[in-house]
Amino acid sequence: MDLFISHFHMDHMQGFPFFTPSYNEGVRIDIHLAQLDPERPLADPFHNLMEEPQFPVPFRVLAADIDFHAMNGSCRLGDVVVTSHPVNHPGGCIAYRIEYIGKSLVYLTDHEPYGTWQDDEVREFTSGADLLIREAQYTTSEYEMKRGWGHGTFDAAVTDAVNSGVKRLALFHHDPEHDDQFLERQLGELQLRYVSSTVDIFLAREGQCIELA
């Protein structure tokens, strides 16, 4: 199996120590991630995550065959092409575009719009995607108090999706203080504000399965 890691902040890494396949012999796991520091081995964040006293099982004793691959461009997995692109987040972060038999999915998390020409590059990276999974951490008013934190707004996500010709937009990575009712209200307001666009806007949900027909 292949795992693609966007960055090493705890909220994106803390599930790995509980990832059951990594404890099973005969399982091969290829982990793809950006080499943000050329002087640091790719496996370092995983060893640090699972060292004592914060976790009782060190990474080095996991039974699965785990290999690491620097993802600074693109790679091919059979008929699947995966491309990466840097986004704006403290410590570094990359987005992924997955293309297969004419369909495309973009995973774009932890990104604060640059406010420069670099935003055009990010939009080009997502251009025409059948599905864009993008963070929507703040409302516009909340963002005014949290500039520089490395996250964007609901409206930035939708506006970019519209301008990039994205077909479907799944919003995720919400602020922990936003409960389900708050998110449903935000979704309803977004759908009204962007009713003239062709983008299908919805909230990503646990266990959801989306077919790219």
**pLDDT (0 to 100) of residue 168:** 97
Whether residues 67 and 79 share a domain: the answer is no
Whether residues 188 and 204 share a domain: the answer is yes
Q: How many domains does the chain have?
A: 2
Which of 13, 48, 72 is the last residue before a domain boundary?
72
Longest dimension (CA), the chain: 55
Q: Give the pair of three-digit tokens for residue 181.
A: 């009712």
Enclosing domain of residue 48: 1-72
Which of 36, 54, 72 is the last residue before a domain boundary?
72
Q: Sheet harboring 65-70: ordered strands across?
A: 2-4, 28-33, 65-70
Whether residues 42 and 124 share a domain: the answer is no
Whether residues 16 and 86 share a domain: the answer is no
Give the residues of the chain that fall short of pLDDT 70.
none
**pLDDT (0 to 100) of residue 36:** 75
Whether residues 15 and 104 share a domain: the answer is no
Q: Give the pair of three-digit tokens for residue 160.
A: 């970019």
**pLDDT (0 to 100) of residue 72:** 80
Count the helix, strand and coil residues of the chain and give each as a percent rounded to the nearest 5.
Answer: 25, 25, 45
**Separation between Cα atoms, residue 172 and residue 58, nearest integer Å:** 31
Whether residues 80 and 60 share a domain: the answer is no
Q: Give the pair of three-digit tokens for residue 119.
A: 């935003």
Whether residues 78 and 129 share a domain: the answer is yes
